[in-house]
């Protein structure tokens, strides 16, 4: 069965500092991988996804993630944090057959950005 582990339920960075949110997955075959962001009292929004091809994926708001098969990881990074990045971030996986986009989510990482 697939699973996702996000290391660190809370991450705090200073404005302008590097953001690194960690995600490891467990799957018998390389899955599709996603990062979603949830702002307070809102639904989840897609940040980026990896399906095939280039392992470094760029998303919205300056975020990117790199698929590393050997490490079964899909960590999310942003070179310089902005106050508006404060939110909860979810890593998710789906099967290659995708089943309409059925996702298994990690527990989430809350990102705080200090001025």
Partner 1 sequence: DAGVIQSPRHEVTEMGQEVTLRCKPISGHDYLFWYRQTMMRGLELLIYFNNNVPIDDSGMPEDRFSAKMPNASFSTLKIQPSEPRDSAVYFCASSLQSGARGANVLTFGAGSRLTVL
Judged by the rule CB under 8 A, the positions of this chain that interact with partner 1 are 32, 34, 36, 41-46, 49, 51-52, 90, 94, 98-108
Which residue lies nearer to partner 1 by CB, 5 or 15? 5
User: 54-76 burial string, b = 16+ CB within 10 Å, else e?
Assistant: eeebebeeebbbebeeeeebbbb
- The nearest distance, CB 13 to partner 1, in angstroms, is 22
- The nearest distance, CB 51 to partner 1, in angstroms, is 5
For residue 111, count other CB atoms closer than 10 A to its CB.
Answer: 21
Which residue lies nearer to partner 1 by CB, 32 or 74? 32
CB 24 within 8 A of CB 5: yes
- The nearest distance, CB 14 to partner 1, in angstroms, is 27
């Amino acid at each position: 069965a697939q699973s996702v582990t996000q290391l660190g339920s809370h991450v705090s960075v200073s404005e302008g500092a590097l953001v690194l949110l960690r995600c490891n997955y467990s799957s018998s075959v390389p899955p599709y991988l996603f990062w979603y962001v949830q702002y307070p009292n809102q639904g989840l929004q897609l940040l980026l996804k990896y399906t095939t091809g280039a392992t470094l994926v760029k998303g919205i708001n300056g975020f990117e993630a790199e698929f590393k098969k050997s490490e079964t990881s899909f960590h999310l990074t942003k070179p310089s944090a902005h106050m508006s990045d404060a939110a909860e971030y979810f890593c998710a996986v789906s099967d290659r057959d995708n089943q309409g986009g059925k996702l298994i989510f990690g527990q989430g990482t809350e990102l705080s950005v200090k001025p």
